Amino acid sequence: MADLAYSRIKAFPLTYIDIIDEELLQTVATLKANYPISYAFAFAAAMAILHKASLLTGDPEFKKLEKKIFPSNGLPDRYHSQRTDDRHQ
């Protein structure tokens, strides 16, 4: 069963990080130091920031960063966790 799950995960179009470079490490450290987020989420957010990518998640931790770090990710309004008047004028 674990082999099947692992093979399915490996089939996703993911980028695997073998080496953590200085830029990634500093971005993760900055996020972790400034926001009450998990270590793993700091890595996911840092990768999205550095690659100018959207980060889609149902994790409530994302709401802590969404307006400050990812103010507009180009997705329709229904994908934003929280709407603000100034973002949609």
Q: What is the pTM of this model?
A: 0.61
For 24, the token pair is 């990634």
**pLDDT value of residue 73:** 53
Instruction: Tell me the per-residue pLDDT of 34-85, one tens digit each, with 9 for 90 and over.
Output: 888 889 889 988 988 898 887 877 777 777 777 767 665 554 444 444 433 3
Give exposure, 29-56, as e/b (b: 16+ Cβ within 10 Å): eebbeeeebeeebbbbbbbbbeeeeebe
In 3D, which of 64, 58, 19 has the Cα closest to residue 38? Answer: 64
